Protein backbone atom coordinates (compact mmCIF):
# COMPACT_ATOMS: atom_id res chain seq x y z
CA UNK A 1 0.00 0.00 0.00
CA UNK A 2 2.39 2.80 1.16
CA UNK A 3 5.74 3.04 -0.54
CA UNK A 4 9.01 4.57 0.58
CA UNK A 5 8.37 7.56 -1.69
CA UNK A 6 5.44 8.71 0.45
CA UNK A 7 2.72 7.56 -1.93
CA UNK A 8 -0.11 5.07 -1.69
CA UNK A 9 -0.59 2.77 -4.64
CA UNK A 10 -3.61 0.66 -5.54
CA UNK A 11 -3.73 -1.51 -8.60
CA UNK A 12 -5.89 0.25 -11.21
CA UNK A 13 -5.91 3.61 -9.39
CA UNK A 14 -3.19 6.28 -9.72
CA UNK A 15 -0.79 6.69 -6.78
CA UNK A 16 -1.71 9.21 -4.09
CA UNK A 17 0.76 11.22 -2.07
CA UNK A 18 0.19 10.55 1.63
CA UNK A 19 -0.50 14.22 2.30
CA UNK A 20 -3.35 14.17 -0.25
CA UNK A 21 -5.03 11.00 1.02
CA UNK A 22 -8.79 11.65 1.29
CA UNK A 23 -10.13 12.66 4.69
CA UNK A 24 -12.28 10.27 6.69
CA UNK A 25 -15.50 12.21 6.09
CA UNK A 26 -15.06 11.79 2.35
CA UNK A 27 -14.29 8.10 2.76
CA UNK A 28 -17.37 7.63 4.93
CA UNK A 29 -19.56 9.44 2.37
CA UNK A 30 -18.12 7.30 -0.44
CA UNK A 31 -18.73 4.08 1.51
CA UNK A 32 -22.32 4.98 2.38
CA UNK A 33 -23.18 5.87 -1.22
CA UNK A 34 -21.54 2.64 -2.40
CA UNK A 35 -23.57 0.68 0.17
CA UNK A 36 -26.91 2.39 -0.46
CA UNK A 37 -26.62 3.14 -4.19
CA UNK A 38 -28.05 6.65 -3.90
CA UNK A 39 -26.67 9.89 -2.50
CA UNK A 40 -30.00 10.99 -1.02
CA UNK A 41 -30.24 7.71 0.93
CA UNK A 42 -26.74 8.24 2.37
CA UNK A 43 -27.40 11.75 3.71
CA UNK A 44 -28.77 10.72 7.11
CA UNK A 45 -26.07 8.10 7.68
CA UNK A 46 -23.33 10.58 6.81
CA UNK A 47 -24.97 13.61 8.42
CA UNK A 48 -24.28 15.81 5.41
CA UNK A 49 -26.42 17.31 2.68
CA UNK A 50 -26.80 15.82 -0.79
CA UNK A 51 -24.70 18.59 -2.40
CA UNK A 52 -21.93 18.10 0.19
CA UNK A 53 -21.82 14.35 -0.50
CA UNK A 54 -21.81 14.95 -4.26
CA UNK A 55 -18.90 17.37 -3.86
CA UNK A 56 -17.02 14.87 -1.68
CA UNK A 57 -17.40 12.11 -4.27
CA UNK A 58 -16.50 14.40 -7.17
CA UNK A 59 -13.45 15.51 -5.19
CA UNK A 60 -12.41 11.91 -4.53
CA UNK A 61 -12.73 11.09 -8.22
CA UNK A 62 -10.67 14.12 -9.18
CA UNK A 63 -8.04 13.33 -6.54
CA UNK A 64 -7.78 9.70 -7.65
CA UNK A 65 -8.02 10.45 -11.35
CA UNK A 66 -10.59 7.66 -11.65
CA UNK A 67 -14.35 7.40 -12.00
CA UNK A 68 -15.65 5.58 -8.91
CA UNK A 69 -19.35 5.47 -9.79
CA UNK A 70 -21.44 4.98 -12.87
CA UNK A 71 -24.38 7.33 -12.47
CA UNK A 72 -27.82 6.60 -13.86
CA UNK A 73 -31.46 7.39 -13.15
CA UNK A 74 -31.60 4.04 -11.30
CA UNK A 75 -28.83 4.98 -8.88
CA UNK A 76 -25.07 4.97 -8.52
CA UNK A 77 -23.08 1.84 -9.23
CA UNK A 78 -19.42 1.21 -8.49
CA UNK A 79 -17.03 0.99 -11.43
CA UNK A 80 -14.09 -1.43 -11.34
CA UNK A 81 -11.94 1.35 -9.85
CA UNK A 82 -14.74 2.05 -7.37
CA UNK A 83 -14.76 -1.57 -6.21
CA UNK A 84 -10.99 -1.49 -5.70
CA UNK A 85 -11.18 1.77 -3.81
CA UNK A 86 -14.11 0.52 -1.70
CA UNK A 87 -11.97 -2.33 -0.34
CA UNK A 88 -9.16 0.02 0.67
CA UNK A 89 -11.52 2.70 2.01
CA UNK A 90 -13.32 0.10 4.14
CA UNK A 91 -10.05 -0.94 5.73
CA UNK A 92 -9.03 2.66 6.37
CA UNK A 93 -12.46 3.57 7.74
CA UNK A 94 -12.40 0.49 9.99
CA UNK A 95 -9.01 1.41 11.41
CA UNK A 96 -10.19 4.93 12.14
CA UNK A 97 -13.45 3.79 13.76
Residue 27 lies in a domain: yes
Report which of 70, 76, 68 is spatially closest to residue 50, judged by C-alpha positions: 76
Q: Residue 10 in contact with residue 34, Cβ under 8 Å?
A: no
Number of domains in the chain: 1
Residue 79 lies in a domain: yes
Domain boundaries, position 63: 23-96
**CA dist list (Å): 84 to 24, 25, 55, 61, 87:** 17, 19, 21, 13, 6
67-96: average pLDDT: 88
66-71: average pLDDT: 95
Residue 72 lies in a domain: yes
Residue 11 lies in a domain: no
Report the CATH number at residue 44. 1.10.10.10
pLDDT tier, 1 (very low <50, low <70, confident <90, very high otherwise):
very low
d(CA 28, CA 42): 10
pLDDT > 70 fraction of the chain, expressed in percent and rounded: 72
pLDDT in tens, 21-54: 568 888 999 999 999 999 999 999 999 999 999 9
**pTM (2 d.p.):** 0.75
Residue 2 has pLDDT above 60, yes or no: no
Amino acid sequence: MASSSGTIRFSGIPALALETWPNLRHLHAFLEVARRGRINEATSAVGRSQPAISQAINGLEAQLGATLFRRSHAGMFLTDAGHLFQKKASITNGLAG
